[in-house]
Structure 1
Amino acid sequence: MKNLLKSFLVLLAITTAVPCFAQKANNTLTEKEKKQGWTLLFNGKDFSGWRQCNGSGMPANWVIEDNAMKVFTGEGRQPGQGANGDILYQNKKYKNFELSVDWKTSKMGNSGIFYYVREVPGQPIYYAAPEVQVLDNVDASDNQLANHLAGSLYDMLPADPKTVKPAGEWNTIVIKVKDGKVTHTQNGKKVVQYTLWSKEWDELVANSKFKDFPGFTEGIAHEGYIGLQDHGYPIWFRNIKIRELK
């Protein structure tokens, strides 16, 4: 009995000596991240820095929910019908950067993350900007083509579907753009790589739905805004952070 009590006390001492590490709060940066040059594009409280693409204010179908941006089906619309609610971060255009975004989709959800956004009056956000797909790979109606699945360069290059967490769970996508060389890293695994303004890029465009989009055939911009899509489904975004690369 004495030995058993001694063992229990030793185990208790070891257990209480192990420090408890609090999970990092969402929409914040560690000191290490700050030193690495990361900045937040979303503060978790409001839409500071964001506005409607080709507009001046925030669309009505965006709210803050549980410290995340949420876009939902607009009033009078059906699921899958956007309400002209594409948004962009207006404070700066970016050229070489690393962008990290956490996203979560509802069942059947569909959306996109855009970079090098060039606003074209009367046109949607995807008219002149590459799209990184956000999707419920299991139940979305747009899950029939490999290059339409989550993490893909939409309608051009497919991402590995095994890297995607299901609807209702958070995913992290990191988009790195440096001198035209682009990678998508999904939940820690590199899933797509390509080079803008190259022969490869021209071939990708020619074999995609964008082949007749002047925004692509004239050549996408060499810098632009970061944007998020309203595709008519509930989607959440948080921990949106970026660091510029030299």
Structure 2
Amino acid sequence: MMRRAAMAMALLAAFVLLTIPSGAASEETGWAELFNGKDLSGWTAMNEGKFEVRDKLLCVGGGTGWLRSDQLYDDFVLEFEVRPLKDNFDSGVFFRAGLGGKPWPEKNYCVNLRSNQWGALLADGERLTKTKQAAAPVGQWTKWVLTVEGKKGSLLMDGKTVWETDELEPGRGLVGIQAENSEFEFRNIRIKEVGHLNLLTGEAPTGSHFTTIVGAKGVWTLRPDGVLECRNKPGQATGGWIGTKTDDWANFDLKLEFNVPPDGNSGVFIRRPIKGDGAYEGMEIQVIDDDAKVFGKLQPWQHCGSIYREVVPAVRATRKAGTWQSMEIVADKNIVRVCINGVEIVNADLDKYTTATTRAKALKDRPRQGYIGLQNHGSGIEYRNIRVKRLPD
């Protein structure tokens, strides 16, 4: 957060509506592209698998390992197209996968893409459902639709049901593509999360928007490409924040992507009131360039993903500034968890933080509901794909 003295002067109580230009929402709302056809942004290669982008295709070139998403998912619809390039092929698509294990995740579900088990469902490597589906010929594209919600799951290939099950274990995990000494190509990979509300487009169920702006005016812009950009003009006062229309956000799963510039600084406010300093009256999850020199040596509680001034990240999971990264914040009663790029870095029980300071109450005594907001710290910041799902009280 790195407060400047001028910031207090900038927190003026000005409220306006964020204008959303036409074209900001996709024609089919709720879908997010997992593969952009240009590079492996949003993915992390694990172990010895070979992955590259060629001719707008995600190519699996052999080796043993997997390519994992930088975001965790629980309930979703996943679409992808795939084709094998050589005989006796073997690959798979993981879901609800963990990070541990080598060469593949130890805990996972997997849509098997092996030539003699085409489309079968595996659980931790063991077959959960059988399939009579004939494998696609080498070089032929097939389209798959995987639907996962709670204990239930189903798989379609080219519009035909491959399997249905009610034996899944509910939970969150990573999506991934397996490399197992075979060559494959993937394209048109996209996902729609079940139950999440897009705060930028106001998609179902409530039609809410990110519309409350406090502080400097005219700095927040929602571009036609769906990116929420904060840029201060030269000489313009910095400070303030943009937030949800309502302050009833108590227990939720918040997901977003951020692009912080070199030496950049911002933050995600949770459970904050309309007045006061969000980092102390509510909570701020820090968004910052961890390698910035302009701030001097950062304290551990200032690093990206920290609960500012209170909870230190267990590990560093950030990447170089100027690249898109993912963040997930789960606020569930007294528990707050933070993941960056698919890695959990904070898991805090607020009830155990009992020490107050001259500026702030102890975490255990801070509000358990309020606004969700994004901080304008003056350095510029970009956010996109901001989604939230309410959790049970």
What's the TM-score bracket when you normalise by the shorter of the two chains?
A: 0.7 to 0.9
> CA deviation digits over 1:83-140, x for unaligned, max 9?
24311111352111111111111110000001101122xx343341111010111125
Following the alignment from structure 1 to structure 2, what is the Cα–Cα distance between the partners of residues 140 and 90? 36
Which of 292, 310, 324 is the aligned partner of 1:139? 292
Which of 220, 223, 227 is the aligned partner of 1:62? 220
Matching residue's letter, 1:179:
K
Contact 1:109/1:140 (8 A) holds in 2: no
Question: SS state of the match for residue 22, structure 1?
Answer: strand
Indicate how the Cα distance of structure 1 residues 214 and 108 shifts in structure 2: closer, same or farther if over 3 A, else same: closer
> CA deviation digits over 1:47-71, x for unaligned, max 9?
9441213x7xx83111124321111
Indicate how the Cα distance of structure 1 residues 217 and 40 shifts in structure 2: closer, same or farther if over 3 A, else same: closer
- Which position in structure 2 is the counterpart of 1:3? none
Which of 329, 333, 345 is the aligned partner of 1:175? 329
Greater shift, 148-157 or 105-114, is seen at 148-157
Q: How many residues align?
A: 210
Cα root mean square deviation, aligned: 2.8
Which of 184, 201, 204 is the aligned partner of 2:353? 201
Which of 360, 363, 367 is the aligned partner of 1:221? 367
Contact 1:89/1:226 (8 A) holds in 2: yes
Following the alignment from structure 2 to structure 1, what is the Cα–Cα distance between the partners of residues 244 and 306? 22
Structure with greater Cα Rg = 2
- Which position in structure 1 is the counterpart of 2:259? 104
Structure having greater relative contact order (Cα 8 Å, sep ≥ 6): 1
Following the alignment from structure 2 to structure 1, what is the Cα–Cα distance between the partners of residues 248 and 293? 32
More helix by share: 1
| CA positional deviation for 1:169 | 1.0
Q: How does 1:1-246 map to 2 (within 5 A)?
A: 14-17=138-141, 20-24=186-190, 30=192, 33-34=193-194, 37-43=195-201, 48-53=209-214, 59-65=217-223, 66-77=225-236, 83-120=238-275, 123-142=276-295, 143-160=297-314, 162-196=316-350, 198=351, 200-203=352-355, 206=356, 211-213=357-359, 219-246=365-392
Following the alignment from structure 1 to structure 2, what is the Cα–Cα distance between the partners of residues 214 and 227? 19
TM-score (norm 2): 0.48
Following the alignment from structure 2 to structure 1, what is the Cα–Cα distance between the partners of residues 378 and 238? 7
Following the alignment from structure 1 to structure 2, what is the Cα–Cα distance between the partners of residues 127 and 157? 13
Contact 1:61/1:83 (8 A) holds in 2: no
Following the alignment from structure 2 to structure 1, what is the Cα–Cα distance between the partners of residues 336 and 198? 21
Contact 2:247/2:369 (8 A) holds in 1: no
Matching residue's letter, 1:130:
M
Following the alignment from structure 2 to structure 1, what is the Cα–Cα distance between the partners of residues 251 and 235? 39
Contact 1:149/1:161 (8 A) holds in 2: no
Following the alignment from structure 1 to structure 2, what is the Cα–Cα distance between the partners of residues 102 and 179? 24
Q: Any gaps of 5 or more consecutive residues in structure 1?
A: 1-9
Indicate how the Cα distance of structure 1 residues 160 and 194 shifts in structure 2: closer, same or farther if over 3 A, else same: closer
Matching residue's letter, 1:97:
F
- Which position in structure 1 is the counterpart of 2:81? none
TM-score (norm 1): 0.75
- Which position in structure 2 is the counterpart of 1:5? none
State the identity as a percent: 23
Following the alignment from structure 2 to structure 1, what is the Cα–Cα distance between the partners of residues 188 and 255? 22
Contact 1:86/1:125 (8 A) holds in 2: no
Q: Any gaps of 5 or more consecutive residues in structure 2?
A: 1-84, 88-136, 144-185, 203-207
Greater shift, 66-75 or 162-171, is seen at 66-75
More strand by share: 2
Matching residue's letter, 1:64:
L
Indicate how the Cα distance of structure 1 residues 108 and 22 shifts in structure 2: closer, same or farther if over 3 A, else same: same
Question: SS state of the match for residue 15, structure 1?
Answer: coil
Contact 1:61/1:85 (8 A) holds in 2: no
Indicate how the Cα distance of structure 1 residues 17 and 48 shifts in structure 2: closer, same or farther if over 3 A, else same: closer
Indicate how the Cα distance of structure 1 residues 85 and 59 shifts in structure 2: closer, same or farther if over 3 A, else same: farther
